[in-house]
């Protein structure tokens, strides 16, 4: 999937989940910045906040 974040950064990746687990792996198009995450539990998870913190707040 391609995802354009609210800060304008574009990332590519894949996500998925089963009952009790949510996973996501994302990278910039050049592959220089990547993130993989997993949340155990299917309650109100805000993985987008983690993605934004990694790719938007860490921009040079």
What is this structure's pTM?
Answer: 0.80
Q: What is the DSSP string of 14-58?
A: EEEEETTEEEEEEEETTSSSEEEEEEES-SS--HHHHHHHHHTTT
Alpha-carbon torsion (44, 29, 14, 36), positive or negative:
negative
Residue 53: which pLDDT band, with cuts at 50, 70 and 90? very high
Per-residue pLDDT tens over the stretch 4-32: 998 999 999 999 888 888 899 999 999 99
């Amino acid at each position: 999937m391609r995802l354009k974040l609210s800060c304008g950064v574009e990332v590519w990746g894949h996500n998925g989940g089963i009952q009790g687990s949510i996973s996501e792996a994302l990278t910039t198009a050049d592959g220089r910045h990547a993130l993989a995450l997993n949340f155990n539990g299917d309650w109100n998870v805000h993985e987008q906040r983690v993605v934004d913190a990694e790719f938007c707040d860490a921009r040079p």
